[in-house]
Each structure stands twice: as C-alpha cells, then as structure tokens.
Amino acid sequence: MLVNLRVLLGRLVDIVLLRAGPESLPASTPLLAIIVVINVAVSAAVTALMPTAPNNWQWQLVVGTVVTLLWFQVAFALVSKPERFVQTTSAFFGIYTLFVPALLPLFVNLLPYIEKQDPANPPPAMPTLLAAALGIWLLTVQVRIVRAAFEWPYFGSIIFIFGLNLGSALVYGMLFGVPPGTV
C-alpha cells in the first residue's frame, strides 16, 4: 500500500513538473474517490486555518468539488471521451492537493494587504511574486492536463479552465449569494 502511494505521489510530481500527463495515472474509480477525499480534507484543513474564511466554507468546498467533477463529466460526454474522466480528474484534484499547502502560507501572508488595500502600504514583493509564480505554474499544469485529456490546443484548454472557474463562481453566487462589499 505504501509503495502504491509513493508511486502515485511520484506520478503526480511528474505531472506537476510537466514530465507526464493524466494518462500516467491508473484509471481507478476508487483511487479517484480517495484523491478527492484527500483533496477535500487538505482544502478543509487549509481553509479552517484562514482567519477570514466564510461561515459556510464547508458547503462552498463541497459545491466546488461537485462542480469540478460535473464540469469534467459533461465535457467528456460532449466530446465522446468518457473513458478519460477518471484519470483526468484524478490528476486535476491530485495536483491541486499538492499546490494548496504551498500556497497557504503565501495567502495568509498577503491576506491583510488583500483585505485592506492601501497604496501607501503595498504588499511585500517576495511573497507576491512567489504567489504569482505558483499560481501561474498551477494554471500551466491544469491547462496541460486538460490539453492532454481532450487533445485540444492550449487556447481551448485555457478557456476550459477559465470556464470552470467562472462556472464555479456562478454556482457559488446562486447558492450562497454575493459576499458583502464585492459588488
């Protein structure tokens, strides 16, 4: 079991380093379920540590997970490639699980500057640049996963990821309303 976990982690690291794609993961529904549960647990732990987490963050986490799974399920059905769903979503949730702990300290460090923006007191440059670099790397890996799974060009893959984020935001807005002060 430990050997299998190590192999899985190695394959996810290979995906993050752009040396492999989602096809390098096993097409196992139980593995997908385990990866999604680990992703939700890591995301919950990270969100619970945030001082300004919304009151209903647990529901938002569940909705975000379900929307992502449905987004990929519908997309694969539309392009007639449903057999790629398990590996692709395993890779998508797996790499996100690896990035969340790296982004948390940066987000917590930058949170006071995000909440109260003051031109006289700009955020520190190093955490800002590091957070931007990690965010761009995460987007790059996600786009590469989508590109490999759907065999689309990069532009179409980028649109797919932005559509996923926009769709998630719309569902959040419909279910939880718009947070005060964002309109």
Least Cα distance to 160 among 66, 92, 63, 61 occurs for 92
What integer pLDDT is reported at residue 179 of this predicted model? 63
| pLDDT tens, position by position, 132-163 | 999 999 999 999 999 999 999 999 999 999 99
CA angle 77, 60, 84 (to 5 degrees): 20
Tokens of 161: 């990821």
Q: Which of 152, 183, 138 is nearest to 15 (CA)?
A: 138
Q: Are 149 and 87 in contact (CB under 8 A)?
A: yes
The pTM (predicted TM-score) of the whole model is 0.88
> Can you tell me the distance from the alpha carbon of 156 to that of 150, in angstroms, rounded to the nearest whole number?
10
Calpha distance 73→138 (Å, rounded): 21
Percent of the chain with pLDDT over 90: 64
CA 179 to mean position of chain CA atoms: 21
Lowest mean pLDDT among 71-75, 97-101, 141-145: 97-101
**Residue 146: what pLDDT?**
97
Which distant-in-sequence residues (6+ apart) come within 8 Å of 172 by Cβ? Answer: 60, 63, 64
Contact 104, 46 (CB under 8 A): yes
Angle subtended at Cα 180 by Cα 179 and Cα 183, rounded to the nearest 5 degrees? 90
Q: Is 149 exposed, middle or buried (0-12, 13-18, 19+ CB in 10 A)?
A: buried
The residue-averaged pLDDT of 166-171 equals 92
